[in-house]
Chains A and B, each alone.
Chain A
Amino acid sequence: MLEAEGLAAFRAERLVFRDIGFAVPSGGALILRGPNGSGKSTLLRLLAGLLRPAAGRLTWRGMDALADTLAQARRVAYVGHQDAVKPGLTAAENLRFAAAAARVSVRDALAAFDLAPLAGLPVRLLSAGQRRRLALARLALSSGPIWLLDEPTLGLDDASIGLLGALLASHRAADGVVIAATHLPLPLPEAAELRLAGA
């Protein structure tokens, strides 16, 4: 159970949002919606512990989640709006670091997004959608219970969205939590919705 109460965040001197509260039960999902600049990405970074909240509280299973950012980092898997892949490395090499602490092999993570045939190709030869799939393949390597996704389906084809849907469903079936910011329809059945209007 991930619960937030009265969260507020500043970017530089500007108040991005305030009084954000929600509760996502184990196995639940939350979709963040709102116009550009309403703070969806900022909220995801805040939940990941990359950004300190200006006010409010975040609790995970009843404990303060942001008190120890290192513990929170181990709980979350974050896919930002940037793919965070290195063009000079191959698809498999890009995942190797993320796989260091994982129980899943790089090969299985690539297969989860149908990238196995591209494993040996340098990422600079991949298309934008294929890079996005590679970024999402990190989720398959993560053992963290909280998945934070920033526009996960941007540039993905229907088949890949289906693969993402399957991965998200199995994560939720294992009592994981998914929070995603998007403008597009997501394969997250029975997800709650949070509208950010901006401050």
Chain B
Amino acid sequence: MKLFIALLARELRLSLRHLGDTLGALLFFLVAGALFPLAIGPSPETLGRLAPGIVWVCALLAALLPLDRLFGADYEDGSLDQLLLCGLPAAAIALGKALAHWLATGLPLLLAAGPLGIMLRLTPEALPALLGGLLAGTLVLSLLGTAGAAIVLGARRGGVLLPLLVLPLAVPVLIFGAAATDAAAAGLSPRPHLLLLCALLAGALPLCPIAAGAALRGAAE
């Protein structure tokens, strides 16, 4: 446990030291979201109708951005060997990485999603459903992304392969996440969709770190 916390502290310290990379995903999220009113016009009805989908797609793509370097830097400079030999199981290392990715990317996205939703004329009643969905959704995306990043580690053109691998797996998250917000905007209960998102999280939480851990050991060989 002490080692796990130390790993998390190391990852967060690295994220803070490379603030440009960390904030890049957040800025991408805001800029990409802000492009939509310019492209489809500022009419409140159209924007409000599209807002949940826009926020979710932008969050999904923004969460993918830093995944490329999640293990890449450690793999290239030999730190991955040291991590694998630190005494933690490989799955715990992957879980630590996923948690650090969420804290450095998912959490800022979650905080920025509210203002972006309001900017896109999302009805205020749908805001809690959007944020609740994103809370579970970004966690699942961090876990899936970590597994994807570990699997493409060492492959040539891994950066291209990664979205192709992770995006199809993220489709259920997108469907239920956007549906929860849509339901809330239409005055229905977002509860079933949010529960399905939590079910996805419950599945990804044990499975993704195990897959990522096995992939890390494979990459180190």
- Taking the complex as formed, is A175 at the interface, i.e. its CB lies under 8 A from any CB of chain B? no
Which residues of the other chain, B, contact A173 by a CB distance below 8 angstroms? none
Query: Across the A-B interface, how many residue pairs have beta carbons closer than 8 Å?
Result: 72
**Residue in A49, A76, A80, A97 whose Cβ sees the most chain B Cβ within 10 Å:** A97
CA distance A81 to B76 in the complex (A): 12
CA distance A72 to B220 in the complex (A): 15
Contact B221 A84 (CB under 8 A): no
Which of B10, B81, B220 is close to A97, meaning CB atoms less than 8 Å apart?
A: B10
Please give the distance in Å from A30's CB to the nearest CB on chain B.
19
Please give the distance in Å from A90's CB to the nearest CB on chain B.
9
Given contacts A51-B221, A73-B87, A88-B14, contact A101 B81 (CB under 8 A): no
Contact A101 B87 (CB under 8 A): yes
Q: Write the A161-199 contact mask toward B (1 if CB under 8 angstroms, else 0).
A: 000000000000000000000000000000000000000
Please give the distance in Å from B218's CB to the nearest CB on chain A.
10
Contact B81 A84 (CB under 8 A): yes
Summarize B's interface: helix, strand, loop or mixed.
helix
Please give the distance in Å from A91's CB to the nearest CB on chain B.
14
CA distance A81 to B78 in the complex (A): 8
Which residues of the other chain, A, contact B220 by a CB distance below 8 angstroms? 50-51
For window 119-177 of A, CB contacts with B under 8 Å fall at 138
Please give the distance in Å from B169's CB to the nearest CB on chain A.
28
A residues in contact (CB < 8 Å) with B:
45, 48-52, 69-70, 73-74, 76-78, 80-86, 88-89, 93, 96-98, 100-101, 138
B residues in contact (CB < 8 Å) with A:
2-3, 5-7, 9-10, 13-14, 17-18, 73, 77-79, 81-82, 84-87, 89, 217, 220-221
